Amino acid sequence: MSKFIKGALIVALLAVALVIRIAPAPYSSGSDIPQFAGFADTFLRHGLCFFKYTDASNTVSEGWPYNWAYPYGPIWILLIAPLRIISPDPVEFFWSGGHYFVYVPINWVVSVKSLLITADILVGVILIAYLWRKHSFAVGIAGGAAYLLNPMTIYISSIYGMFDQIVSVFLILSLILFDTRKLSSGFLASLALLTKQVVLPSMIPMAVKVLGELKTYKRFILGGLLGLAILVAPFILGCLSSPLSVFSAMMFYQNPGYTHPVCYSFNGLSSLATYLHDVTGGDYTFLIKYWIIPYIILQAIALHYFLKTDDLIGATYLSYAAFIATFWRINHQYLVPLIALAVLAVPQIMRRWRTVSVVTVISSVLLPAVWPIMFPTSWWFHVHIKNPSTWWISLIDKLTLMVFESGAYVAYSLVLTFSLYLTIVVWWLRGSGIFFSCLKSKNI
């Protein structure tokens, strides 16, 4: 295949990916986008003391539409605050007729989504370039398409609006540069963590490698500390009255509880517990109360795989998959890094372990793609848009299955959760040289 044809295919893929993201972006908004405006306004008012005002008790005084805290690192607020300066129109929120309405200005929607879509396309470009160089052009273009054309990644960046693709950019670049550009890799790893701390479980294999070979990876540590110093120290030094506020805000662990509404719950056991509680009134929290136990087991399996194979990319994928499979409160945006890591990891094993590759693609690429097609996605085209486009609502209704039944989402989340369990185990069995007789085949 000539260079011209290869280039044309890449340009065509990126153009399609960009168009299908840009086209619906101004006409839809998830509930986080109006809340982001409130967070940005708080930062612009309080500057480096921002993290003193990030808990839900400041909802009314800070003028946020929802009583949701800011539980993220400093990078996201530093990115959206300048956007708020150029898109300052206020979010409208009020009660009327017993209903709560939140309307977000279109210029703010476009500003935020422009950043998200740019990051999403950048993830695709990185995947294409790395997989092409490491494997082949066909693998690169297929991997890029698997990410860029995935309904879940499109939904998160251009319809709902969440920033997990920015985490993916930093994390993937850190993995790719881990052995060749240690300082940069460490710095990027810290950027990923300081964007969204839920990526921390995926970094455990990286930490094990670094701590096991401190002399070799001292520049990685230096890069990580540099990132912390640049991004965290100003908030602490600039607001000495709350030196721990930035870290307390980033704690994502909460006491397990029911996850309403069920359609947005992506942990099978949490969904099942919530559904059974709603139907019977009984107490089913025992299903999720001890989620940390299966997490530790699956994380140990991922680390054992890493120690046996030294496959950092594969182990990073498995560690993140262990978190997604077990944490009691998984939202749809958490699946974006899972898709990216799976696309990065699968080509390394697809020729040797075909069945493992197929299981991984199903659990971590195809199953996440199903949910935006099931869900009545047109909801986000009118619930926060004051003057909704009937054309877009009609089109999205035709493209989705419009499933409203909670039981269907319980079934979906159970399949997703246990497919991830299966995926982690089969990677471990294959990588560790442990086989069941039914798996003894050169095609596995």
pLDDT tens digits along 40-79: 999 999 999 999 899 888 999 999 999 999 999 999 999 9
**Which of 201, 225, 249 represents a domain boundary (last residue)?**
249
What pLDDT score does 76 carry?
A: 97
pLDDT given at position 1: 76
Residues of the chain with pLDDT under 70: 240-254, 434-444
pLDDT value for 371: 98
**Contact assessment for residue 137 and residue 1, using Cβ atoms and an 8 Å cutoff:** yes
In the numeric block, which tokens belong to residue 250?
């980033």
- Same domain (yes/no): 202, 342: no
Look at residue 444 and tell me if it is in a domain.
no
Q: What is the DSSP string of 23-74?
A: TTGGG---THHHHHHHHHHHHHHHGGGGGGG-SGGGHHHHT-SS-----S-H
Same domain membership, residue 350 and residue 218: no
Residues 273, 242, single domain; the answer is no
Same domain, 198 and 281: no
Pick from 217, 249, 281: which residue ends a domain?
249
Determine the pLDDT at residue 237: 86
Asked if residue 255 belongs to a domain, the reply is no
**235, part of any domain:** yes
Decide if 257 is inside a domain: no
Domain match, 221 and 114 both: yes
pTM for the predicted model, two decimal places: 0.95
243-267: burial string, b at 16+ Cβ within 10 Å, e else: eebbeebbeeeeebebbeebbbbbb
Question: Rounded CA gap, 328 and 323, in Å?
Answer: 9
Question: Is residue 295 a part of any domain in this protein?
Answer: yes
Same domain, 51 and 147: yes
The pLDDT score that the predictor gives to residue 437 is: 43
Report pLDDT for 436: 47
* Under 8 Å between Cβ of 93 and 102: yes
Domain co-membership, 231 together with 273: no
Domain boundary among the residues 194, 216, 249 is at 249
Let me know: does 336 contact 153? Beta carbons within 8 Å: yes
pLDDT of residue 246: 59
Which string of DSSP letters, residue by residue, matches 177-237?
TTTT-HHHHHHHHHHHHHH-GGGGGGGHHHHHHHHHTTTTTHHHHHHHHHHHHHHTHHHHH
> Domain count of the chain?
2
Same-domain check for residues 335 and 416: yes
CA of residue 434 relative to chain centroid, distance: 31
Please give the residue range of the domain that contains residue 104.
3-249
Close Cβ partners of 439 (under 8 Å, ≥ 6 residues apart) = 355, 426, 429, 430
Task: Check whether residue 95 and residue 118 sit in a common domain.
Answer: yes
CB-CB contact of 84 with 44 (8 Å)? yes
Quick one: pLDDT at residue 255? Answer: 82
